[in-house]
Amino acid sequence: MKNVFENGKLVIGCNYWASHAGIRMWENWNEEVVRSDIEQLSKNGVKMLRVFPLWSVFQPVDKIVSYQGAVEGYTVDGGTTMLKATDDGVDVTMLTRFNTLLDIAQEYKVQIVPSILTGWMSFALLVPPAIKSENVITSPLALMWSVRFIKRFVCEFKHHKSIVAWCLGNECNCMGKVENREQAWVWNTIMSDAIKSCDNTRPVIHGMHSLGNPNEEKWYLQDAGESCDVLTTHPYASPSYGTDKDIINTFKPVLHTVSQTLYYKGVGNKPTFIEETGTYGEMNVSENLAGLYCKSSMFSAWAHNCLGYLWWLGYDQGSLEYFPYKVNNRASNYGLFREDRSEKPVGKSIREFSEWLDDFEFKTLPERIVDAVCIVPTNGGNYIKQFASAFILAKQAGIDMEFVYAPDKLPDAKAYILPSIQSPHSLHAEYLKSLMKKVEEGALLYVSVGNGYLRNMNKDFGFNIIFRHPVTAEKTVTIGDCSFNIKPKYHFEVNTTSAQIIGTNEAGEGVYYCSKYGKGTVMFLSYDVEEYLSDKVNAFENTNFYKVYEEIKKRIESDKIANCSNPNVGMTEHILNDNERLVTISNYSNKIVNCEITVENGWSFSRVLYNNAQKSLSGALVELDLACSSVLVFSKN
């Protein structure tokens, strides 16, 4: 199987509906417009299109109903003819039109990913009439027509060179409810296997968002990874993730695209890319800020090896006057181009970065150096509540991390981060034992606590817990000469044995502890700072919460050679060879920032690959405008 998504590369593209018709492009087919669209998109940096064979149009099967609702058969033309028992009901005219789109894409060297079961689009259910009254996910009748459509579609186009992968559909978990995990598993497996039975030469992409973990969701990330070859995120700056609370080109919205993608990759155990991202409507953000958001989030996706970045959408749809556009105020003007075909700032961002990547002097970007593994517990782990915040705090402190789901094999790491645990069943005893073994051998473990429990805390963390009590008032935490306010769930009264107090509250009581454990280090914060920050507006810019993770950074020996003291700047570091390191730098603030990148002895700043920098005594001085990024190379002296 050839996978179009290569490590160290970022495929840049967009989701596509024809500029003149939106979701009615297939009924109102205009080859000239489609050609003009694809030509314009191709010339402006778009390498991949995710396209949508609208299910209700491509397979317009309806029931023929007689006395007391008895189903006499099926038809695609209002009863003029009846389908035979094994007919798939697929419209040949629509297949011909789709093939024309593929031919045009091939002519302009644009890769195509069809989202096959597009029965959900822009808050509208658009499935064949025969199954409209069914639960599209669980009904045997719906499953039958789904598989028939998939098999016909894949067999029809599997020989076309422009198709590089198959996507199950568009957010298909929105098409119907499931009562349990098993029903979702069955749907995932049946649809993926239907594709693979017809073509096993291309990867199968999941095409969904809002997946979760056991005890959190019915659509499991792990099951998606089991059934498909590539997972997807749809990380908008939206209320769904609380990422609409901050200015769009700042830490939380921008790094949401990266952190959720890395989270899906780690927990689902499959490569993951950003299949769909964008803003959440004109009332949230101006065109200029949307362009800045795209520029910053796309660069960060590349720096963190997120494989692909597809914008929603190619063209604005604000003038379309039929359902769902008639009632949906959000799904309208998200395009790279306006309806008059003029380029928007977000289109410019896509074009300029795509052109720069084409000329990037290295074939691939080496993997970033990872300092820590963030552990997603068996129970009580939630991306929005804990792990997005943990990722940002780590980034501000200069720590790069990846994710692992607690039942999976624990990778080697300098540090392990277990943020804001919220359940008595967070880690199984056997897993905790293997984790403490890593610490005993020299790693660091950081734990912060909400409602959660871990065994052997008194024995392993250098203190004795006397009792804990709920907190009703805001607390002030001081670490060194910095402080921040927080309202935690509990306060722990403890007697320290070997633990050092590195953080106190306003009463001078210890809340942040550090102790040796074998050759390693254990750190315990009794306040659930990560969950607290998940609901806080502007939690990360010009605040001191990151000082919690800076204490972690002080106690690990990173393999990195570069450092930056500005918490509004995020970096990744990549080993080019024994004598060269590539460092990416991003401004996650909504202000111009100046930062000095310092390097270890024996290294010095040698050149710039993207944007500006100048030499300083110990490294490099960089000025970053809004949503601005830079790529520097450092060499051994």
Distance between CA atoms of 57 and 484, rounded to whole angstroms? 56
Whether 366 is in a domain gets the answer no
Q: Are residues 470 and 446 in the same domain?
A: yes
Whether 153 is in a domain gets the answer yes
Q: Are residues 314 and 212 in the same domain?
A: yes
Whether 367 is in a domain gets the answer no
SS3 of 514, please?
Answer: strand
Whether 46 is in a domain gets the answer yes
Q: How far is CA 276 from CA 12, 13, 272, 312, in A?
A: 11, 10, 12, 6
State yes or no: pLDDT of 329 exceeds 80.
no
Show the domain range for 535: 372-554
Pick from 501, 531, 554: which residue ends a domain? 554
* CATH at residue 208: 3.20.20.80
State yes or no: pLDDT of 462 exceeds 70.
yes
Q: How many domains does the chain have?
A: 3
What is 120-177 written as a DSSP string?
A: EETTEE---GGGTTS-TTT-HHHHHHHHHHHHHHHHHHTT-TTB--EEEESSGGGSS-
Q: Are residues 155 and 213 in the same domain?
A: yes
Question: H or E element: which one contains 633?
Answer: strand 629-636
Q: How far is CA 109 from CA 112, 270, 550, in A?
A: 10, 27, 46
What is 560-575 written as a DSSP string?
A: --EEE--TTEEEEEEE
Whether 3 is in a domain gets the answer no
Q: Are residues 257 and 313 in the same domain?
A: yes
Buried b (16+ CB within 10 A) or exposed e, 111-120: bbbbbbbbbb
Whether 376 is in a domain gets the answer yes
Helix%, strand%, coil% for the chain, nearest 5:
30, 30, 45
Whether 214 is in a domain gets the answer yes
* CATH at residue 627: 2.60.40
pLDDT digits 0-9 by tens, 604-629:
999 999 998 898 878 888 888 888 99
Q: Are residues 240 and 378 in the same domain?
A: no
Predicted local confidence at residue 410, as pLDDT: 94
């009703």: which residue's tokens?
A: 472
The pTM of the full predicted model, rounded to 2 decimals, is 0.96
Dihedral angle sign, alpha carbons of residues 387, 392, 396, 399: positive
Q: Are residues 262 and 150 in the same domain?
A: yes
Q: Are residues 434 and 400 in the same domain?
A: yes
Q: Are residues 615 and 493 in the same domain?
A: no
> Which residues lie closer than 8 Å to 420 by C-beta, 6 or more apart?
385, 386, 389, 390, 448, 449, 450, 452, 528, 529, 530, 531, 532
- Please state the separation of Cα 474 from the chain's center in Å: 32
| Arithmetic mean of pLDDT over the chain | 93
pLDDT band for position 458 (cuts 50, 70, 90):
confident
* CATH at residue 433: 3.40.50.880
Pick from 297, 326, 359: which residue ends a domain? 359
Q: Are residues 387 and 506 in the same domain?
A: yes
pLDDT digits 0-9 by tens, 573-616:
999 999 999 999 999 998 898 889 999 999 999 999 999 889 88
Q: Are residues 326 and 342 in the same domain?
A: yes
pLDDT digits 0-9 by tens, 79-119:
899 999 899 999 999 999 999 999 999 999 999 999 999 99
What is 40-67 written as a DSSP string?
A: HHHHTT--EEEE--BHHHHS--EEEE-G
Listed in order, strand segments (DSSP E) in 298-414 are 308-311, 372-376, 401-405
Pick from 309, 334, 359: which residue ends a domain? 359
